[in-house]
Amino acid sequence: MFVTRRKRNPRLEITPLIDVIFSILVFFMIFTSFEINPAGLNVELPKAVTATERQPSSITITIAKTGTMYIDGKAVATKDIQGRVREALQRRPDLFVIIKADKETRYEHIVKAMDEVRAGGGFRLGLAVERDRVN
């Protein structure tokens, strides 16, 4: 005698799926928050009414309030700026270097960065500012 058993219909368990989707959601929320402020640099730029927009350059030098310098979000020693500028000029002769300095940065740090860029062969440079609207 044959005993027939009823086949169970397959069921889709949704609880593990929700856990996976939640984990992915949390991952992307955390990952995108890092992109808002790269390397934790919080630089408050000075304002200028006559500011004009430029095309993005190959090198952006950021100077924090303390005088610490960063190139593309990575801390560098002042003497390393020359080499980085030379390398970038070999790849792109029309290089435009942007210096982003916090508005409370001492002027000597900005001048030092400009000197290093020029010593590396870069003569096209500008200072980043926020556009100030005239009321």
84 vs 54 pLDDT, higher one: 84
Question: What is the model's pLDDT at position 36?
Answer: 47
Separation of alpha carbons 85 and 93, rounded Å:
10
Kindly report, residue by residue over 26-77, the tens digit of the pLDDT.
988 877 765 444 445 566 666 666 666 666 667 888 898 888 899 877 889 8
Structure tokens at 54: 């430029």
**Does the domain made of 41-131 have the CATH classification 3.30.420.270?**
yes
Question: What is the model's pLDDT at position 57?
Answer: 61
> At residue 25, does pLDDT exceed 80?
yes
Q: What is the DSSP string of the chain?
A: -----PPPPP----HHHHHHHHHHHHHHHHHHHHHHSGGG----PPEETT-------SEEEEE-TT--EEETTEEE-TTHHHHHHHHHHHH-TT--EEEEE-TTS-HHHHHHHHHHHHHTT---EEE--EEPPP-
Average pLDDT on 2-28 reads 83
In this prediction the pTM is: 0.59
Q: Where exactly are the structural domains of the chain?
A: 41-131
Q: How many C-beta neighbours within 10 Å does residue 67 have?
A: 16
Nearest of 105, 106, 123 to residue 114 by alpha carbon: 123
Kindly report, residue by residue over 96-123, the tens digit of the pLDDT.
888 888 888 898 998 999 999 999 998 8
